Amino acid sequence: MVPTFEDIMTNIWSDEMQLSLRLSLLTGLVSTVLVMLFALPIGYALSRLDFWGKGVVKTIIDLPVAFPELVLGLCLLLLFGKTPIGKALSSIGLDFVFTKKGIVAAQFFTALPYSVRIMKSTFDYINPRMEFVSRSLGYTQFETFLRVSIPLAGSGILASTVIAFARCIGTFGTVLILAGGSYMRTETLPITLYLNISYGNMGMALTSGILLIGVSFIAIFIFEKTEAKL
Amino acid sequence: MVPTFEDIMTNIWSDEMQLSLRLSLLTGLVSTVLVMLFALPIGYALSRLDFWGKGVVKTIIDLPVAFPELVLGLCLLLLFGKTPIGKALSSIGLDFVFTKKGIVAAQFFTALPYSVRIMKSTFDYINPRMEFVSRSLGYTQFETFLRVSIPLAGSGILASTVIAFARCIGTFGTVLILAGGSYMRTETLPITLYLNISYGNMGMALTSGILLIGVSFIAIFIFEKTEAKL
Amino acid sequence: DDLRIFAGAGLMKPMEELRQNFEKSHDVHIDVHYGSSGEIFGMLGVGQTCDVFIPGAEKYTRDAIKNGWVYEPSMKPIVKHVPVMVVPGGNPANIQTLDDLARPGVKVALGDPKAAAIGKVSKKMLSKAGMWEQVTPNVVVYAPTCNQLLIYTALEQADAAINWLDVTTWAEGKGKVQVVRIDDKRNMIKTIPTAVHVSAKENPLALELNDYIASAEGLVVWEKWGFEACTK
Amino acid sequence: MSFLRVEDLHIDLGEFSLKGVSLEFERGEYLTVMGPTGSGKTILLECIIGFYKPSKGRVFLEGRDITDDPPEKRRIGIVYQDYALLPHKNVFQNIEYGLKKVDRDKVSRKAKIMEMAEALNILHVLHRKPTTLSGGEQQRVALARALVVEPRLLLMDEPLSALDPQTRHTTRALLRRIMRKRDITVLHITHDMDDVWALADKVAIMRNGRLEQHDTMHDVFNRPSNRFVADFVGASVFEGTVQPGANGQCQVDVGGLVLNSIESARSGDNVRVFLRPENVMVFRDRPQKTSIQNLVDATLEDYYQEGILYHLSFRSQGVRIPAVITASAFQELDIHRDDTMCLGVKAANVTLA
Amino acid sequence: MSFLRVEDLHIDLGEFSLKGVSLEFERGEYLTVMGPTGSGKTILLECIIGFYKPSKGRVFLEGRDITDDPPEKRRIGIVYQDYALLPHKNVFQNIEYGLKKVDRDKVSRKAKIMEMAEALNILHVLHRKPTTLSGGEQQRVALARALVVEPRLLLMDEPLSALDPQTRHTTRALLRRIMRKRDITVLHITHDMDDVWALADKVAIMRNGRLEQHDTMHDVFNRPSNRFVADFVGASVFEGTVQPGANGQCQVDVGGLVLNSIESARSGDNVRVFLRPENVMVFRDRPQKTSIQNLVDATLEDYYQEGILYHLSFRSQGVRIPAVITASAFQELDIHRDDTMCLGVKAANVTLA
Ligand SMILES: Nc1ncnc2c1ncn2[C@@H]1O[C@H](COP(=O)(O)OP(=O)(O)OP(=O)(O)O)[C@@H](O)[C@H]1O
Ligand SMILES: Nc1ncnc2c1ncn2[C@@H]1O[C@H](COP(=O)(O)OP(=O)(O)OP(=O)(O)O)[C@@H](O)[C@H]1O
Ligand code: MOO
Ligand SMILES: [Mg+2]
Ligand SMILES: [Mg+2]
């Protein structure tokens, strides 16, 4: 049952594991960056703007958190499948079903609601007068967002990024359904783990689990350490 | 294939769905309350205290977010299984494997890391001088925490609660593994959905999906609406 | 150009080898999605398509044909699926026969009768033996898949479970579980079939893959992984 | 065309509202705004800069209607009452922040910042984050940040309130120098009369969301438009009647007391007469040869000390006349309650309205 | 046993440090602390209340060492420089917050709060959240919150800085009344000399993390311990030598100028002589019969106006003598630069050290 240290080392250097690790890191980072790029302005808008139906909009944004991953995956599959949206995206080269891009899409939509919600709450704590001073000194609203709101949101951005990254790298069901979870092609670490449990290959499964934990630990640790600089 | 409105109504009033709905709401609320009861002091301590190895502690707390739910479920199963911890808990009536308590435990550990991380970041935005004023007026540190820190953290607590509740009500893998996901016994809405897909009972699956979305929407909407009062 | 297979989770080991062989000889890419029989059946139900469909028991293929999802003429039986009793290493509850499952205090784990092929078989088998009523009070969990069932046994959360023989191979090898055979009289051995989805019935490559999996050449691979050919 | 013109500004904040504030002043003028706390000074300022949108009324800057401009197009400098320094930038970067928009040259920026920091005596904190600064240091950083960009219009909300008297003094001199040199127009909210005396060309007095008076400094102090303003600026008001006759000048009867004024008024008119206590001279005996045209015998009713000053309250023929003298004058005159003394007021210091 | 005793307090904040501050005063005394901005006044206060832990030194309150007590055990009232009102409570609740700990009776609490709010003129904002208040309103709420609990020791950091002169005046009167009635001991940081004149028993002057002088108000103003304090309190210092002879009183030679003082000193000693400009009387002609013992002819070198006051700078025999007079006195004396006039100083106003 318990694989030896040598087993684990061999497993780590296996092609499957190497590919899965690289793919996990790559998609995880790309997705996290994309998530934050969207979460910052959306969270800001939700915090600063007041509009009719804001409560409903906020609720809709929060909602996907409550979806089991498989359901979210199915929703995405339906959205990007044989629908006009899916076809339009497909025609500009954005093919999300059973592709690596699909992994990013799956992770993105899984993590986005968390990050948006955290950023909204963070911007609530930032005094709008600070932003106003910046604008009175000649900075546009957008420049002010970049130079004042975002730096002041440091701690919240950190929390948001950590959660987004962890959620992206760990998401399983969404990736499985949308990207197919096929061996050596759309295989991230959680999928490797799942596939190898299914293959009955407990050594590989355990190795991918360990790797997942290790990689997450290092990445999150690095993120958390940047706090000192904020 | 697409069930009619009448089908859905019948499904909603079926015993299985009623039980699942009640169990989801009950466990979701209990877990959310428990999560917040733990997240507030832990987040506060992480924000206010400085100690050696804080970076590592924060990372370990964040880490479970990166675990696929099935893995987290397995970890909990191992923890509460035939270990001294599991036996000790079992002897005081806290049996988590295959039980309704297990659902709460699964949801609790799934959502806790999110809430802690959000609360930590929120408390970072609260000026400690406010707390100091309260103490100089004769309130102890704990009273101050209750009467100043927590009310000032309103927006963050809201974000944290919304995410905790959504995560609790939507978690699937953890509950499936730890509580067993048995028909009519430890069946929450996501499990009902999954079971009924497996049963080939698409009407029920869809209904539970709709119910899950509906219930989450209403609950989150109510939460988000309380913001006006904060 | 690519082919897709939906296969039962327990069939992963032979399927992977078969996939690689076929890919090499036909210069084609194959995606395989593994899930519990109920799950892959359900995916067809929500309109997903595949080229080849291989669930854990024939019943699912028959139902799929009835629903018009699978192309009936393409259905071929491949191998047998054998239910056994699985107990934790050392057999702490000393399970020897099916009757021991009804002994008070024994913790039994079963597959969900409606979700997993193994659950369906278990219920039928126990009912036929007139034991269903006695065993149910002992059941601690109805797991939706055979894999989950195995985990609970390996982690000693159950004293016994009824599961597929082939699923247990890894855990048995590691001494985590032991297999207790069910007497042939009361056992119900199933067959695993392969079939082509209706959307692929015009696709020669899909038909060829379907044939290959059930061919003599394919059966060598199945047998290598502990399955027993139906024809024998 | 006036430089800044505020026209009938209304804003409603529920409990409080600005009720039709109109204001205008010219390029290079220095306007100080005073008023009791909570009278709406800060709100007025935040309307001009654009933080609040007025429900009615317009703001014109150099003839252009800026009421709907976003703040970044207004280019109005501001020193906030609570400083509003950017906590994530150090002091140097805070000061540089606005300057970057008007001066692309790093070297010249640095020179300007160093000069300003030197003048405000904050060189030693340039590398620090604002949260670690003392109140007075923060205030000077806020001042530096606003001054260094040399805005065409500068709004300042109690910009010297946290400074010690010495620093306040030198900072006033600095302000005066910069305003003259750079031709900056200033609106300065203050509670400190010394700011007004030292800096103001014009003074506006607010009360309860309304502008009570808006005039040159001399007129506000010597010709307050109503009793509230008079009390606020510390002037005394009497009702009087202009007497017939007199030679070019004018004589006013205030409850039996006749005062000469150099101002002209129609005989028989009812006028208001203003006196400032610091313009009332106090003599033990009536001076012999003097150019002072109003000499009145009066009895000291009451007095109190405030710092180095004594505030005296005299009565003459039922009219209460206040006076302010220094501690030394008080000692020298050897003053006691109920003493009868002689008060002198120059005709130029008796103003009418 | 003194009420509050601060013993050799050190604290190191990197850029800034308190370097051995010692301070003590008695129950019921009112101590004002002054000093240039950034001199460490706020830090000292935060050490006493317990926000900063000193690296060395002790704080005793009523004889008890409280250096390591948590703030809730110290029960010291504080009015923060930036108010630190609780934003989630309305004004009433803010004031009530501390009171709840000392008065369990809701009705009596309400009565106390209403009384305090009335006195501070904030009745109309009791139901509002602090974030919507003006600067001066916030400051009065912070004051009310601290005053209403009647702490044995009250620390206030520039508690009147955001108020208009009128309100400041009435608030001072209120403070005086409460302190007397409730026997509260106060440490009050201020930049406003008027606060000192109106309220202080004792004055402490800080500079650069050190206490330069800590004494009764009279002594600090009239006998500053060094040139820094003298400049800060606006006194003039001269070096002089005590002359032989004289009758009980004492004569000091200051660069040729001989001044009489009622203080005693040993003949031949070198002493420092202090004069306050407001104690210098200015005459056009030498007065005939007078009790003033020091009369000096001097030439006006320079003058400037500050508000209603004129600051004059005279020179007599190489000694620079400052004087302050009111605007009316300035007019009356018809003063011009280079006029030679007569200055008078009472012997009681020439202090020695
Ligand atoms: N957002 C708001 N909602 C309601 N009332 C407000 C709001 N902001 C300010 N006020 C009220 O408006 C009045 C004027 O406020 P403002 O800040 O202009 O006073 P101020 O003249 O600057 O006083 P101070 O000298 O104390 O700074 C105050 O009574 C204040 O309580
Ligand atoms: N956390 C800190 N780290 C480093 N230096 C600090 C810190 N807090 C304050 N200082 C510095 O200590 C000095 C004294 O600050 P303090 O606030 O006591 O001044 P103050 O006398 O109250 O001045 P003001 O009259 O301007 O309020 C200042 O120069 C300030 O910059
Ligand atoms: O392969 Mo199954 O359907 O989980 O027994
Ligand atoms: Mg204001
Ligand atoms: Mg201070």
Query: pLDDT tens digits, residue range D93-151?
Result: 999 999 999 999 999 999 999 999 999 999 999 999 999 999 999 999 999 999 999 99
Q: Per-residue pLDDT tens for E254-295?
A: 888 888 888 888 888 889 999 998 888 888 888 887 778 888
**Whether E101 and B148 lie within 8 Å, measured CB to CB:** no
Cβ pair A205, A193 in contact under 8 A: yes
Residue type, D278: E
Chains E and D touch each other (3 or more Cβ pairs < 8 A): yes
Higher pLDDT, C78 or B227: C78
Asked if residue E37 has its Cβ within 6 Å of ligand 2, the reply is yes
pLDDT of amino acid C231: 66
Distance, CA of B215 to CA of E280 (rounded, Å): 85
| Nearest residue, CB atoms, B132 vs list E51, E75, E97 | E51
Rounded to 5 degrees, φ, ψ at E262 are: -80, -5
Provide, as residue numbers in chain A, all residues whose Cβ is less than 8 Å from the Cβ of D76. 136
pLDDT of amino acid C162: 94
Distance, CA of E40 to CA of D262 (rounded, Å): 53
Cβ pair B154, B40 in contact under 8 A: no
- Distance from the Cα of A42 to chain C's closest Cα (Å) equals 33
Distance, CA of A223 to CA of B10 (rounded, Å): 50
| Nearest residue, CB atoms, A138 vs list D50, D51, D101 | D101
Closest CA to E39 of D142, D164, D131: D164
**Whether C31 and A98 lie within 8 Å, measured CB to CB:** yes
Dihedral sign, CA of C125, C129, C133, C138? negative
Burial class of residue A217 (count of CB atoms within 10 Å of its CB; 0-12, 13-18, 19+) = middle
Nearest protein CA to atom 6 of ligand 1, as residue:
E132
| Nearest residue, CB atoms, A216 vs list B63, B163, B224 | B63
**Whether B136 and E102 lie within 8 Å, measured CB to CB:** no
User: Residue B220: beta bridge partners?
Assistant: none
Report, in angstroms and rounded to the nearest whole number, the Rg of chain C calculated over CA atoms.
18
Using 50, 70 and 90 to split pLDDT, how confident is the model at A1? very low
Provide, as residue numbers in chain A, all residues whose Cβ is less than 8 Å from the Cβ of C175. 1
Asked if residue E42 has its Cβ within 6 Å of ligand 2, the reply is yes
pLDDT of amino acid D35: 94
Closest CA to E110 of C45, B14, B120, E118: E118
Query: Both tokens of residue C129?
Result: 């033996």
For the CA of D39, the nearest ligand: 1
Most confident of A178-187, A217-226, D326-335: A217-226
pLDDT of amino acid E246: 57
Domain boundary assignment for chain A: 26-186
Q: Per-residue pLDDT tens for E70-88?
A: 988 888 999 998 899 999 9
Q: Per-residue pLDDT tens for A157-182?
A: 999 999 999 999 999 989 988 887 77
pLDDT of amino acid E199: 92
Residue B27 has pLDDT above 90, yes or no: yes
CA distances (Å), origin D210, targets D17, D18, D31, D207, E249 = 9, 6, 16, 5, 60
| Nearest residue, CB atoms, A172 vs list B62, B70, B166 | B70
Asked if residue E261 has its Cβ within 6 Å of ligand 2, the reply is no
Query: Both tokens of residue D51?
Result: 């933080």
Return the best residue to mutate from C36, C84, C142, C153 for the ligand 3 pocket (most ligand atoms within 8 A of CB). C36
Asked if residue E124 has its Cβ within 6 Å of ligand 1, the reply is no
User: What count of CB pairs under 8 Å joins A to D?
Assistant: 55
The ligand 1 atom at the shortest distance from the C-alpha of residue D36 is 25
pLDDT of amino acid D266: 83
Asked if residue E21 has its Cβ within 6 Å of ligand 2, the reply is no
pLDDT of amino acid B170: 93
pLDDT of amino acid C110: 93
Distance (angstroms) between ligand 3 centre and the Cα of A172 equals 20
Provide, as residue numbers in chain A, all residues whose Cβ is less than 8 Å from the Cβ of D72. 135-141
Distance, CA of E208 to CA of E37 (rounded, Å): 9
Residue linked to tokens 């008695």:
E26
Distance (angstroms) between ligand 4 centre and the Cα of A3 equals 71
Using 50, 70 and 90 to split pLDDT, how confident is the model at E245? low
Q: What is the mean pLDDT of residues A98-112?
A: 93
The ligand 1 atom at the shortest distance from the C-alpha of residue E136 is 26
Cβ pair D19, D173 in contact under 8 A: no
Q: What is the mean pLDDT of residues D299-317?
A: 88
pLDDT of amino acid E249: 75
- Distance from the Cα of E281 to chain D's closest Cα (Å) equals 6
Query: Both tokens of residue C213?
Result: 């999996």
Distance, CA of D140 to CA of D280 (rounded, Å): 38
pLDDT of amino acid E35: 94
Residue B8 has pLDDT above 60, yes or no: yes
Half-sphere exposure of residue E124, counting CA atoms within 13 Å on the CB side?
12
Distance (angstroms) between ligand 2 centre and the Cα of D132 equals 7
Asked if residue D230 has its Cβ within 6 Å of ligand 2, the reply is no
For the CA of E190, the nearest ligand: 2
pLDDT of amino acid D175: 92
Cβ pair D156, D79 in contact under 8 A: yes
Provide, as residue numbers in chain D, all residues whose Cβ is less than 8 Å from the Cβ of E310. none
Closest CA to B212 of B150, B169, B151: B169
Which ipTM was obtained for this model?
A: 0.87
**Whether D72 and A138 lie within 8 Å, measured CB to CB:** yes
Distance (angstroms) between ligand 4 centre and the Cα of E220 equals 34
pLDDT of amino acid D318: 83
DSSP element (H, E) containing E315 = strand E309-316
pLDDT of amino acid A140: 93
pLDDT of amino acid A200: 62
**Whether B190 and A71 lie within 8 Å, measured CB to CB:** yes
pLDDT of amino acid B182: 85
Burial profile C75-108: b = 16 or more Cβ within 10 angstroms, e = fewer? bbebbbbbbbbbbbbebebebeebebbbbeebbb
Residue E120 contacts D where some CB pair is shorter than 8 Å = no
Residue A223 contacts D where some CB pair is shorter than 8 Å = no
What is the CB < 6 Å shell around ligand 3?
C 8-10, 36-38, 56, 111, 116-118, 145-146
Dihedral sign, CA of C76, C79, C80, C81? negative
Distance, CA of A193 to CA of B70 (rounded, Å): 10
Chains C and D touch each other (3 or more Cβ pairs < 8 A): no
Annotation: CATH topology of A26-186: MetI-like fold (1.10.3720)
**Whether A148 and D145 lie within 8 Å, measured CB to CB:** no
User: Residue D257: beta bridge partners?
Assistant: D254
> What percent of chain E lies above the pLDDT cut of 70?
99
Chains C and E touch each other (3 or more Cβ pairs < 8 A): no
Query: Both tokens of residue A15?
Result: 């092609």
Residues 6+ apart with CB under 8 A from E75: B136, B138, E151, E152
pLDDT of amino acid A179: 85
Question: What angle do helix axes B54-62 and B15-48 make, rounded to 10 degrees?
Answer: 170
Q: Per-residue pLDDT tens for C79-120?
A: 998 999 999 988 999 999 999 999 999 999 999 888 788 888
Q: Per-residue pLDDT tens for D174-214?
A: 999 988 888 899 999 999 988 998 999 999 999 999 999 99
Distance, CA of D102 to CA of A100 (rounded, Å): 47
pLDDT of amino acid E267: 83
Burial class of residue C187 (count of CB atoms within 10 Å of its CB; 0-12, 13-18, 19+) = middle
Half-sphere exposure of residue C116, counting CA atoms within 13 Å on the CB side?
27
Q: Which of E72, E93, E129 is the mutation pick for testing B, counting most B CBs within 10 A?
A: E72
Residues 6+ apart with CB under 8 A from D211: D21, D22, D23, D204, D205
pLDDT of amino acid E99: 94
Q: What is the mean pLDDT of residues A127-146?
A: 92
Chains that touch C (3 or more CB pairs under 8 A): A, B
Cβ pair E58, E67 in contact under 8 A: yes
> 10 Å Cβ neighbour count for B215?
17
Distance, CA of E143 to CA of E117 (rounded, Å): 10
Compute, in degrees rounded to 10, the torsion defined by CA atoms A43, A47, A53, A56.
Answer: 50
**Whether A173 and B173 lie within 8 Å, measured CB to CB:** yes
Using 50, 70 and 90 to split pLDDT, how confident is the model at D245? low
Look over chain D and give the mean of its residue pLDDT values, rounded to a whole number: 90
Distance, CA of A4 to CA of E66 (rounded, Å): 60
Query: Both tokens of residue D302?
Result: 């009451």
Chain B residue whose CA is closest to A74: B209
E65 three-class SS:
strand
B208 three-class SS:
helix
Q: What is the mean pLDDT of residues A19-47?
A: 95
Return the best residue to mutate from D32, D43, D191 for the ligand 1 pocket (most ligand atoms within 8 A of CB). D43
HEC readout, chain D: CCCEEEEEEEEECCCCEEEEEEEEECCCCEEEEECCCCCCHHHHHHHHHCCCCCCEEEEEECCEECCCCCHHHHCEEEECCCCCCCCCCCHHHHHHHHHCCCCCCHHHHHHHHHHHHHHHCCHHHCCCCHHHCCHHHHHHHHHHHHHHCCCCEEEEECCCCCCCHHHHHHHHHHHHHHHHHHCCEEEEECCCHHHHHHHCCEEEEEECCEEEEEEEHHHHHHCCCCHHHHHHHCCEEEEEEECCCCCCCEEEEECCEEEEECCCCCCCCEEEEEECHHHCEEECCCCCCCCCCEEEEEEEEEEEEECCEEEEEEEECCEEEEEEEEHHHHHHHCCCCCCEEEEEECHHHCEEC
Query: Both tokens of residue D114?
Result: 């160093």
DSSP element (H, E) containing E296 = strand E294-306
**Whether D51 and A134 lie within 8 Å, measured CB to CB:** no
**Whether B136 and E76 lie within 8 Å, measured CB to CB:** yes
DSSP 8-class letter at B4: P
Residues 6+ apart with CB under 8 A from E2: E24, E25, E26, E60
